[in-house]
């Protein structure tokens, strides 16, 4: 008799989670469509950041210089100089922790430094409505459940297009993001735990402040709302430097900007971003334990 096939528990769990989200999303979309138009609250909107191209350029340049200096100081302090011809240093969890800190913290420091020392140009209000963290999480969760399947569909279409282009020889093979490979490979549990916390807490806060609170609001002062959302989302996606995730992250960025406009508070966008990162890491962890799901 043939041996009994082993049940793949991670595959079953991932399938149940996906089916649950699809069911929740469908229910929320139906309720949204059936909601009377007169019961939909008017969007408070977000004021544009009208500081001009010169001051905005100074802000961006200061942020780039801060990141560059922090990363070079970090390399000088924590790593020996590599000799010529030496293979590139392998990415480890602790190196990833340092890399994330040396990217996110200088960006955040530049933002608060500009607001602190040059309030006339950079200290405009980010929010037009006041929300507690709990309220922001409660507002963001339904939108996360609604839009996550949309992001999945875009991801499948974009991946299919890239696979077709690769098969036709139009592009070279593309690799997943280094952090995804790192999580799959494992390593120091403490470093992995710190990376998870930073992905769920630090990254959403910093990236929403910079890309929605600053870049989107400035672009909105130079054009209309939709082009500003698209352009700021393209910049947000390019920062992740991965072709496979480019279009899906553009869609994520547009959703985040629209939530910012709709709620009038950046905490809602931060909460959505945190949900998205947490879910992505959770599914990555589950699928990494499966023998049936391709890695």
10 Å Cβ neighbour count for 59?
22
Q: Domain for residue 142, yes or no?
A: yes
Range of the domain at 181: 128-288
Q: What phi and psi values does residue 48 have, to the nearest 5 degrees?
A: -70, 155
User: Helix/strand/coil (H, E, C) string of the chain?
Assistant: CCCCCCCCHHHHHHHHHHHHHHHHHHHHHHHHHHCCHHHCCCCCCCCCCCCHHHHHHHHHHHHHHHHHHHHHHHHHHHCCCCCCCCCCCCCCHHHHHHHHHHHHHHHHHHHHHHHHHCHHHHCCCCCCCCCCHHHHHHHHHHHHHHHHHHHHHHHHHHHHHHHHHHHCCCCCCCCCCHHHHHHHHCCCHHHHHHHHHHHHHHHHHHHHHHHHHHHHHHHHHHCCHHHHHHHHHHHHHHHCCCCCCHHHHHHHHHHHHHHHHHHCCHHHHHHHHHHHHHHHHHHHHHHHCCCCCCC
- What is the number of structural domains in the chain? 1
Q: Domain for residue 67, yes or no?
A: no
Rounded mean pLDDT of the chain? 87
> What are the pLDDT digits (tens) for 114-141?
999 999 889 888 999 899 999 999 999 9
pLDDT at 124: 86
pLDDT at 69: 95
* 151 pLDDT above the threshold of 70: yes
Confidence of residue 81 (pLDDT cuts 50, 70, 90): low
Q: Domain for residue 6, yes or no?
A: no
Q: Domain for residue 46, yes or no?
A: no
Task: Answer for the pair 69, 106: CB distance below 8 angstroms, yes or no.
Answer: yes
Does this model's pTM top 0.75? My answer is yes
pLDDT at 2: 47
Q: Domain for residue 226, yes or no?
A: yes
Q: Domain for residue 85, yes or no?
A: no
Token pair 């391709």 is found at 294
10 Å Cβ neighbour count for 209?
19
SS3 content of the chain, % helix, strand, coil (to 5): 75, 0, 25
pLDDT at 284: 84
Q: Domain for residue 117, yes or no?
A: no
Query: Residue 54 and residue 282: Cα distance in Å, rounded?
Result: 42
Q: What is the mean pLDDT of residues 72-93?
A: 72
Lowest mean pLDDT among 17-31, 85-99, 188-202: 85-99
pLDDT at 121: 87
Confidence of residue 41 (pLDDT cuts 50, 70, 90): low
* 1 pLDDT above the threshold of 90: no
> What are the pLDDT digits (tens) for 200-258?
999 999 999 999 999 999 999 999 999 999 999 999 999 988 888 899 999 999 999 99
pLDDT at 42: 62
* 72 pLDDT above the threshold of 70: yes
Q: Domain for residue 74, yes or no?
A: no
Query: Residue 271 and residue 30: Cα distance in Å, rounded?
Result: 23
Percent of the chain whose pLDDT exceeds 90: 60
């Amino acid at each position: 008799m043939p041996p009994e096939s082993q049940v793949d528990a991670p595959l079953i769990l991932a399938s149940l989670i996906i089916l649950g989200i699809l069911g929740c999303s469908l229910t929320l979309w139906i309720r949204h469509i059936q909601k009377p138009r007169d019961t939909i609250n008017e969007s408070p909107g977000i004021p544009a950041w009208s500081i001009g191209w010169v001051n905005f350029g100074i802000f961006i340049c200061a942020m780039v210089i801060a990141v560059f200096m922090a990363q070079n100081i970090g390399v000088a302090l924590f790593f020996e100089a590599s000799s010529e011809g030496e293979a590139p240093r392998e990415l480890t969890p602790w190196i990833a922790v340092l890399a994330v800190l040396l990217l996110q913290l200088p960006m955040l420091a530049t933002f608060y430094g500009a607001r602190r020392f040059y309030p006339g140009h950079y200290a405009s209000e980010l929010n037009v409505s006041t929300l507690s963290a709990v309220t922001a999480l409660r507002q963001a969760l339904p939108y996360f459940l609604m839009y996550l399947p949309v992001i999945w569909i875009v991801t499948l279409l974009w991946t299919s297009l890239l696979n077709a282009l690769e098969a036709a020889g139009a592009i070279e093979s593309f690799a997943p993001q280094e952090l995804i490979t790192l999580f799959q490979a494992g390593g120091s549990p403490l470093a992995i735990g710190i990376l998870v916390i930073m992905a769920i807490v630090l990254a959403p806060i910093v990236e929403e402040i910079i890309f929605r609170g600053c870049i989107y609001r400035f672009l909105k002062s130079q054009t209309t709302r939709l082009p500003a959302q698209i352009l700021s989302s393209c910049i947000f996606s390019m920062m992740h430097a991965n072709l496979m995730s480019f279009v899906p992250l553009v869609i994520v960025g547009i959703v985040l900007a629209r939530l910012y406009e709709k709620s009038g508070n950046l905490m809602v966008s931060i909460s959505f971003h945190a949900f998205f990162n947490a879910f992505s890491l959770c599914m990555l962890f589950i699928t990494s334990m499966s023998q049936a799901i391709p890695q």
